[in-house]
Amino acid sequence: MSKNEQPPDDGRVTRTIRISDTAPQPDRAVHPLAFPERRDPPGGDLKAYRAARKDGTRAFTLWADPHRRQVFAHVVTKSAAKSGPATYEVLGAANEPLALITRDPAMRGGRVRTRWTVQQAGGPSAVGLKGRAFWWFMWWLISPLQLAIAIGSIIGGSGDVARPPRRTKWRVDRRVVLDYHSGPGSAFELEALEDWWDARALAALVALLGSHDGWLGSAWDLARD
C-alpha cells in the first residue's frame, strides 16, 4: 500500500493498493487495484474512530478509483472484543458477502502468535500465523537490547528498533495459498499462490493487515488525511 507524498488539491483518496503480474523483476507490471479510505462513525471524526478502534473495530471503503466514483469493496466489523478476536466482513459494491476475515490476537488460548483466518465465500478457510516461531524466539531473546535501543533513540534521536516478525503464510490443508512477505525496499506485499482468490477479498486483507501494523508500525487508518 502506498500514499502520495503531497496531498492532492482535488480531495481524492491518496492511498493505493497495487496489484502486479507474475513476471520477474524488473519487468513486472504494477497497476492500481483499490483506493482504501477509513470510514468514521456516523457524525464522528478521527477521534471517534480511534475510540471505536480500541476494541478491534475497523471500517473501510475500498474505492475502484481515487475520485470515489465506484466502490470496489467494503470492510465492516462483524464482531470485536477488546484484546480479543475480531471478525471482519468483506462486502462487494452491492453489499454482497465476499469473505470473512478473523484476527485472533497473540498470547491467547495457548497461542503465541497472532492468527489470521480468511474464508472466502464458498471457499475453504485459510489460516495464517504471524511470523515464524524461530524468529519470534530470536526477537524476544534480544528484547532487552531492543528496549535499550528504543530508550536511546528517544533520548538521543538515533537507533532503529527491529520490527517484530511479520511474514505470514496462509495454508489450506498444509498447502500455502497466500504469502505476506517483504517486497522491494521495505514494503510488504501479499502474494496469492492460487488463482481462485477474489481480488476484492485480497485488497481487504491488505488493508486490514496495514491497520494492525503493531506498536512499531504506522497504521494507515490513523493518519490525518
The residue assigned the cell 519487468 is: 27
Q: What is the pLDDT of residue 204?
A: 98
Q: Are 55 and 79 in contact (CB under 8 A)?
A: no
pLDDT of residue 144: 60
Closest CA to 118 of 204, 225, 217: 204
Phi, psi of 151 (to 5 degrees): -65, -40
For residue 37, list its beta bridge partners: 61
Q: Which of 216, 225, 223, 211 is nearest to 54 (CA)?
A: 211
pLDDT of res. 59: 97
Cα 186 to chain centroid, rounded: 15
Q: Kindly state the cell numbers that stand for 41.
A: 462513525
Question: Residue-wise pLDDT tens for the chain (225 aa)?
Answer: 666 545 555 789 999 999 998 766 677 789 999 999 999 998 889 999 999 999 999 999 999 999 999 999 999 999 999 989 999 999 999 999 999 999 999 877 667 789 999 999 999 999 999 877 655 556 556 566 555 555 554 455 554 555 667 789 999 999 999 999 987 766 789 999 999 999 999 999 999 999 997 655 679 999 876
How far is Cα 52 from Cα 59, in angstroms, rounded to an integer?
10
34 within 8 A of 17, measured Cβ to Cβ:
yes
pLDDT value for 186:
66
Residue 134's pLDDT is: 53
Under 8 Å CB-to-CB from 137, ≥6 apart: which residues? Answer: none
Task: Give the phi and the psi of residue 104 in degrees, each rounded to 5.
Answer: -105, 115
Contact between 158 and 152 under an 8 Å Cβ cutoff? The reply is: yes
In the prediction, which pLDDT does 57 show?
A: 96
**Coil, strand or helix at 6:** coil
Q: Where are the domains of the chain?
A: 2-130+196-222, 132-165
Q: What is the pTM of this model?
A: 0.84
The dihedral region occupied by 122, where left means phi > 0, alpha psi between -120 and 50, and beta the remainder, is: left
Per-residue model confidence (pLDDT) at position 133: 64
C-alpha span between 1 and 16 (Å, rounded): 5
Phi, psi of 177 (to 5 degrees): -115, -20
Q: CA 189, 18, 44 angle in degrees (round to 5)?
A: 95
